[in-house]
Structure 1
Amino acid sequence: MNEVIIKALYLTVIVYFLTLVLSRILGRKLVSQMTFFDYIVGIMIGSAAVQAATVQKNPSLSAFIILIVICLLTFIIDIIHLKSIRLRKLVDSEPIVVIEKGKIVDKNMKKIQLSLDELNMMLREKNYFNHADVESAILEANGKLSVQAKAEKQPLTPSDIYLTPAYKGLTRDVIIDGKVMENNLKYINKDEHWLKKQLVSYGVHDFKDVFYAGMDTSGNFYVSKKQNNKEVPGMHGIE
């Protein structure tokens, strides 16, 4: 019995780290950007991983091989996918126009079996409650709806009133959970001596007392101190 448990734990750990390594090699993709093909591949990888981890007799070398081959094929397909339009059309669904020039394209709706209720729901999720406000809408390969509002319904931008807003880039993290981000400090041409001076103005004298600190491209410095574990009355909105 003990041997079975140890073997199961051993296989699970191996499969876990193997899957982790393979997923890192394959790259990362947000769930919202995944296509139907990506989901199928994910299910196949998961099934192979479970098979490799749960078979007790003859630790299923074939399952490990299947897992590696699936990931290898996916990696190769992804590379070709970037360079081949034909493969992209084969693997991914093509974007479909469902609203054009303010009118619903019912022919395309039937083609992709999208009901009017589903279209209305997707428009509402984009904060469009009236078809008359929409110039065009495209159902993307990942199932998301891209919507372009009519010119008169689009929000006002600074360029519309001839304003040039100040540039705002990324905020650089300089301290995360008490640890100084050396590379980011170098990127903004600062050092720890400068950082200590900034923290003193916030009443902080030790990097370890800072949960987060960062600086944006305008030179604005932000600090969030670590909180002690002792609860303060009202800190959760309840006295």
Structure 2
Amino acid sequence: MIIILIRTLLLYLFVLVTIRLMGKGELTELQPYEMVIMLMIAELAALSIEDTGRPILNNMVAIITLLFAQIIISYINLKSQWARRIICGKPSILVHRGKINTEELKRLRININDLMEQIREKDYASLADVEFAILETNGELSIIPKANKKPVTAEDLNITPAYENLPVSLIIDGHIHYENLKIAQCSEHWLMDQLKMYQIDNYKDVLFCFLDENRKLHVQKKDNQ
């Protein structure tokens, strides 16, 4: 039992580091080759946990090999459009100028009900709202709405909005984030003065405190305060 516990924790940390080394892109929508690598890593880790007689180092070497394979393939995709098309494929236009592309649906084995479901998931009520629907290489459906269905922007209204800053979290669960204070160009002394305006003497009593895009401070106390 202790051996299984140790192997599980060790492999968890090892796989976690491996995925982090693959890059943040791997934590979002996966390309087919990325999904294959993730599944293989999961299978190798599971085998090492289940079979305590198998040397854990063997599977670690295999996982490292997959890591390097992923890095190499990603680099090739970055440098070669031809390789990217072979490995990842190309986007498919499922709706063109408001009309369903039946040939593309047949080729991809997608039925109209599935297409309409994905369109509704993108907050468009019907096909009448859609000018183009594009199935991206990662399986995500992108929608370009008809001109009269696009959200109104400040540019459409000839309005020049004020510059908005990046919202920054300053205190989370009673802990000051000093790096974010530096990004916001604020000092701890300034922060404490602001908290006193909310009748807060100790920052540890704060659940969440942040500066919004207009540099307005928002503070929420912990429930027991």
Equivalent in 198, 205, 208 of residue 212 of structure 1: 208
**Aligned residues: percent identity?**
34
Q: After superposition, what is the alpha-carbon deviation per residue over 1:7-65, rounded to whole angstroms, capped at 9, x for unaligned?
A: 22222222111111111111223665112322221110001111222222252432221
Q: Retained in 2: the 8 A contact 1:80–1:87?
A: yes
Letter in 1 for 2:113: D
Q: Is residue 129 from structure 1 mapped to residue 125 from structure 2 by the alignment?
A: yes
Distance 2:123 2:181 in 1: 40
Q: 1:57 to 1:155 in 2, by over 3 A?
A: closer
The list of structure 1 runs, each at least 4 consecutive aligned residues, that deviate by more than 4 angstroms after superposition, is none
Identify the residue that residue 169 of structure 1 maps to in structure 2.
165
Q: 1:93 to 1:132 in 2, by over 3 A?
A: same
Cα RMSD, aligned residues only:
1.8
User: 1:204 Cα deviation (Å)?
Assistant: 0.4
Equivalent in 10, 15, 18 of residue 14 of structure 2: 18
Identify the residue that residue 27 of structure 1 maps to in structure 2.
23
- Give the greater-gyration-radius structure (CA): 1
TM-score by length of 2: 0.92
User: 1:219 Cα deviation (Å)?
Assistant: 2.1
Letter in 2 for 1:213: C
Identify the residue that residue 188 of structure 2 maps to in structure 1.
192
Aligned length: 225
Q: 1:222 to 1:56 in 2, by over 3 A?
A: same
Distance 1:38 1:118 in 2: 24
Q: Is residue 38 from structure 1 mapped to residue 34 from structure 2 by the alignment?
A: yes
Equivalent in 90, 98, 104 of residue 102 of structure 1: 98
Q: Retained in 2: the 8 A contact 1:213–1:223?
A: yes
Equivalent in 71, 75, 87 of residue 83 of structure 2: 87
Unaligned runs of 5+ in 2: none
Identify the residue that residue 225 of structure 1 maps to in structure 2.
221
Q: After superposition, what is the alpha-carbon deviation per residue over 1:97-116, rounded to whole angstroms, capped at 9, x for unaligned?
A: 11112211111111111111
TM-score by length of 1: 0.87
Distance 1:137 1:185 in 2: 42
Distance 1:30 1:45 in 2: 13
| SS of residue in 1 equivalent to 2:210 | strand
Q: 1:7 to 1:130 in 2, by over 3 A?
A: closer
Q: 1:156 to 1:58 in 2, by over 3 A?
A: closer
Equivalent in 72, 77, 96 of residue 73 of structure 2: 77
